[in-house]
Structure 1
Amino acid sequence: MNDPIQGIPCGSAPAPLSVLDTALTGRGHTAADALAGSIELARFSDRRGFTRYWVAEHHSMPGVSTSSPAVLLARLTAHTRQLRLGAGGVMLPNHPPLVVAEQYGLLQALAPGRIDLGLGRAPGTNQATAAALRRGRADDDAFPQQVLELLNFLDDDFPEGHPYGDRVHAVPGPVQDKENAAQSTAGRPSTWLLGSSGYSAQLAAHLGLPFAFAAHFSPDLVVPALDLYREKFRPSPTLAEPYALVSYGVLAADDEEEARLQAQTFAHSMLRMFQNKTYLVPTPEEAASYPYTDAEREVVDDWTARVLHGTPDKVTAELNRLQATAGADEIMLATMGHSPKALLRSTQLIADAYEMPTRADAADSATH
């Protein structure tokens, strides 16, 4: 198994490369189409030596189909061999920490040593849906305590006198192996903190956890957040030195115009969100023909520009430039387009441009 933190060298890429997936479900596609595309993309990522494949949690959004990352990840364990699989991430305030510990302990049992658990504090949806999910159980201010509780469950290591103590355990997990006198080689999932500001950067540093920054949402804050994380980092039993991953929105295509049209579908979806409409990914033709007002055009142009789009040489050159500034330990590709075909093609083109070698023992030999 590859190390849970250190990424796999990838040809001429400036850092190890990984993939972020939301099972984008554009107009004209079903969830079944999108999820079949996710399986194909994960198998390709495994075969071409990407380090990890994360699934993001979103709710009440017709344009994505990843309301339950753990369910999709369970399926992907059967289609991959080497690729690390994980949540990018679980929006922890939406869930009791015990449930998350159980789900990802189960995944770790299915794919020992290959599971990542990325934790975020945003709802992954609108406020009304967040209220329906949380039922008044938690708020963002409780996030640090939720993270600590989750870590205690994963390690089965609550402090003495804690009300859960010896009475509540995450299973599968350490207590199961101990009670059954079984030697486990799985360990716990590699736990990360996710964010798009300095808040999670500081918390990750304080807890000595790896940190993933969502540059596809906040590109201007990458360097300050990573600097803060590295400056405040405190070594822990989990991690001796800071390790930072940065995700960038990308869309590579065979020609510039196709790339721009695909990227604009994502920008149109963001415009709808700002207008309190559903997150819906239009076809490239629908986005191109929409009668934008001047204010709407400004929003769409801004979000289109946040996606590194163009030919593969142009996209990789921009990734190289950004990496030279941020110095991330790993780069994650958040591919933004309309169809599973466009997302897969973009990833293929970037892998080829970076001359990522094919790994013969990976997805081709996994269960289909």
Structure 2
Amino acid sequence: MTASSPPTRTDPPSRTEQARQIAEPLAAVFRQEAERADRTEQLSATGVRAIKASGYPALTVPVRLGGFGASLHEFAAAQEILGRADASLALVAAMNAHLLGSVGEAGSWPEDVYAQLAHSSVNAGALSNSLASEPDLGSPSRGGLPSSSARRVEGGWRVSGLKTWSTGSEALDFLVVTAAVAEGETGAEVWRFVIPAGSEGVRVQQTWQGSLSLRGSGSHDVKFEDVFVPDDHALPPAAPLSPVRAASSGAWFWTAVAATYLGVGQAALDSFVEYANERVPTALGASIATLPKIQQAAGQMNLDLMSARTLLHHLTRRWAAEPEARPDLLPQLAGAKNLCTNAAVNVTDLALRAAGGAALTSGLPLERYFRDARAGLTHPPADDQALTLLGKQALGL
């Protein structure tokens, strides 16, 4: 009698792998939609439906509210997969994920307001975004008071203003809007107002055409004309948070950006490798992948991405494992954002140079990756801000 072999032991997937598994089917849809959305300069309705049906909006919702409860590292791993498929749709998903992740971690909102957005994302795939940029204000990360304003009325507030760079504007279910409030004798303060997208007086203006990058992101302007917001959806400036909790807002947004554009860079390398192996000039009689200059270009691209990814994953793992170290990790995450977005810029540039004239046509996606990667430089923190934060940390200031 022959003894049977012991059953093969299959370990359950890690939480990081589970987060990736949530992202992978969604990325497949993004990949199919990317070229058409870029060409038509339209946010893909198919892509939006896929996001809402995928479970990804619940990725960073805490477990206590029914979500997956992804850590910063698990979020980074999942978000890179989406960025590798399409930057535009990846950022629509990222805006909701970083908002719910950071607020849930910091506990900086009233629980009932946060729970409404969180439950909507878990149960209905709702998407939210924080709208803060304005034509005159520029990037809110540089400081300044928004031109958007809110005034008290019976039972709540009336909000008016114009917001720009509103990623995924047509797909959003909730808009978290910053506005100036003149309260008492303390001068104007910046409040946040949670506004359902279908509220009377909210109007998306179709301004996102002819952009260099992210043509399929639907980053239109949104106009608010005397929009009523009840008192319980008006969020005054939070009481000072502990340094550990206060670090969360920057960390989640910077990680969202870093991981998304790291994915863009990886997509460019993947596409270049495929092209290099398939391109066989008659004069060479072999694929151009056999040429040393092509191998060196691929090697440099790979090194740039490996370096950026290693730093991002190291820091996001520490963020989850060492909460007390978060204030010190925050400047380093700014550095990771710098490294990842610049890696994407460098890799897409190298891919275009090495592939030659074919890369300038829409026959290869390299020119789209090249354009999309440039947008990573515009997200806060800008390179000078990131380097200043790191420099101050190094100087002990």
Structure-2-length-normalised TM-score: 0.30
Question: Whose helix proportion is higher, 1 or 2?
Answer: 2
Q: TM-score, with normalisation over the residues of structure 1?
A: 0.31
* Rg larger in structure: 2
